[in-house]
Amino acid sequence: MNKELLIRILQATVILVILLIFLFLSFGINVFTLAGVSKLPSILSLVVLFWGFYFSIGWKWPVLKSIAKRENLNGTWFGTYTSKNQLTNAEFEGDISVVIRQNFLVVDVKSFTDKYINYSYGEALNYDNKSDKHQLIYLYSQNDFKPTDDNVRRGTSELQLHYDLKKKELFGNFWTNHNSQGYLNLKKISSKQAKSFNEALTYLKK
């Protein structure tokens, strides 16, 4: 959880407490009096219940997602990749599926092609307030158990979230430890999470 996200949560908490105080006042309960102080635990309980709900499912609701600016990327994405080896100038392209599993705090990314599977082992979903853009950055490896092994193909992807007529797209660059650099262009095709490249193809055809 980054600093900006913590600040937004703190600001929302302050606003929520103020709204609850006014709500109590509207029912004739003044929490600033000695008798009203006994109601403070009720306010705190309501705040805790709200954040419990928000962190579990509320952050996915369009009407509430602006509180923490946390985008819901859960599901299966499908698109194309292009890459070029910086040493030999050999070029590659093909179809790719990216499957994202996410809760409020954690993002997990797995990508499938017809030949390879990549597993993420370091992820960050960032929001830039100035540009109003979301960026997904993740490190990935073809070995889920030893992701940092130098003998394993590893890489980094930096993707931006974009809306095309309300449809979500992810696009951006990636780099690998095998001297290649490339570009990903993905569209969300299902809220379900495919377990293989072939399963993702079935979602694409629906």
pLDDT for 101: 97
pLDDT for 190: 95
Query: Measuring CA to CA, how many Å separate 15 from each of 12, 56, 61, 121, 129?
Result: 5, 20, 19, 36, 20
Q: How far apart are CA 130 and CA 53, in angstroms?
A: 28
Q: How far apart are CA 79 and CA 182, in angstroms?
A: 13
pLDDT for 90: 92
Neighbour-count burial of 64, counting CB atoms closer than 10 A to its CB (0-12 exposed, 13-18 middle, 19+ buried):
middle
Residue pair 80/93 in contact by the 8 Å Cβ criterion: yes
Quote the percentage of the chain above a pLDDT of 70.
96
Long-range contacts (CB closer than 8 Å, 24 or more residues apart) made by 6-10:
8/67, 8/68, 8/69, 9/51, 9/67, 9/68
Give the 3-state secondary structure of residue 178: coil
pLDDT for 40: 82
Cα–Cα–Cα angle for 104, 105, 107, nearest 5°? 95
pLDDT for 167: 85
The residues, ordered by sequence, that sit 6+ positions from 16 with a Cβ below 8 Å of its Cβ are: 47, 50
pLDDT for 34: 74
pLDDT for 62: 86
Report pLDDT digits (tens) over 52-65. 999 999 999 988 88
Q: How far apart are CA 48 and CA 138, in angstroms?
A: 31
Residues of the chain predicted below pLDDT 70: 1, 165
Residue pair 141/118 in contact by the 8 Å Cβ criterion: yes
